[in-house]
Amino acid sequence: MSIWLKIDVCGDLQPVVAKARGRVAQLYDDNGEDLYITAKRDGLHGLGSLHYEGLAFDFRYPKKEISDFISKIRSAAGPGFDVIAEGNHIHVEWDPKQVS
């Protein structure tokens, strides 16, 4: 398994998000996929984006069927994370207000 970064991806992730990225990477590996990160603290994101604080990352869809895989990604990321399918990528962000 490999974790690939799009050529212009830069910046670090907060530890809680880096751990979630590792769990998502393990899920991809378990499914025979490489994880391709498309954004961390870089890029253009909406107003109030958590990317700039290192609390979000984006990655490409897996090659496998996405419908049931997205729930596996949510589970891998863990409680407190939003997992959103957006256009050509999946967005994961730490959203602590969601933790119960």
Q: For residues 22-43, give the mean pLDDT.
A: 90
pLDDT at 99 over 50: no
How far apart (Å, rounded) are the C-alpha atoms in residues 6 and 73? 20
Q: Give the CA count within 13 Å in the CB-facing half-sphere of 74.
A: 11
pLDDT digits over 59-96, tens only? 988 876 777 788 999 999 999 999 988 888 899 999 87
pTM as predicted = 0.86
Closest CA to 62 of 77, 76, 73: 73
Please report where in the chains the tokens 């990225």 appear, as a residue.
Answer: 21
Each domain of the chain, given as residue ranges in start order, spans: 3-55+69-98
Tell me the percentage of the chain whose pLDDT exceeds 70.
Answer: 94
